[in-house]
Amino acid sequence: MSGHLLSSINAEAAAAIQPAPARPKLPGVGELVVYHMRAGYARSGRTTFPAIVQGHGDRETLMLTVIIDAQDWPMSRWLKRSGSGASSMSGRRRIRIHPELIAQWRLEMAQALKQVQEVQASMASLRDEVAHALKVAMNGRAEVKSLEMAVFGEFNKPDISLTSILVDFEKRLAALKESQT
């Protein structure tokens, strides 16, 4: 039990006086994160691996592509045996992964990682540009407020534009001059 004592009596009233705790921000798509495997699962003694965020799921979950180094993969994989003689053996056979494939896989992963880092860099520059545009917009709002204060002073801003008021004033002056002549 946490929070105010009132939460044990009236949860709604306790929620009204206590703000909800801030939720941590989830990493964006394309960002690199660290994936921690469940207890009992490991590759060559390691339980943490880099991962790339592919998307966001329900209930604030992440869809990840976990990058496990080629050295951590077993040097063989098991496949179902097919064809004649399948029933006479255990139904499986061992296939070796060639070192060239491992080298190619490492090269492809390095290229993919470089692309992810480039996307992250462009996203960071885009965030900076958006922050700058927001700052300019906020400065523009402050400038408009200061101009309104200079024009209207302490009076309330009218419902119609100042230009409309001035046009109406000019028409009245012209009508007044015509009536006097």
Mean pLDDT over residues 72-98, rounded? 45
* CB neighbour class for 51 (10 Å; exposed up to 12, middle 13-18, buried from 19): buried
Q: Span 122-147, mean pLDDT?
A: 91
Q: Using CA atoms, how far apart are residues 66 and 54, in angstroms rounded to an integer?
A: 10
Residue 117 has pLDDT above 80, yes or no: yes
Which residue would you say has higher pLDDT here, 4 or 32? 32
Mean pLDDT of 20-27: 76
pTM above 0.95, yes or no: no
What's the rounded Cα separation, in Å, for the pair 79 and 31?
34
Say what the alpha-carbon torsion angle 66, 70, 75, 77 is, to the nearest 10 degrees. 30
Across the chain, what does the average pLDDT equal?
76
pLDDT at 150 exceeding the cut of 50: yes
| pLDDT tens readout for residues 154-178 | 888 788 887 888 889 999 999 999 9
Q: Which of 18-32, 54-68, 74-88 has the lowest mean pLDDT?
A: 74-88
- Banded model confidence at residue 93, pLDDT cuts 50, 70, 90: very low
- CB count within 10 Å of CB 102 equals 15
Greater model confidence, 96 or 102? 102
The position carrying tokens 């306790």 is: 14
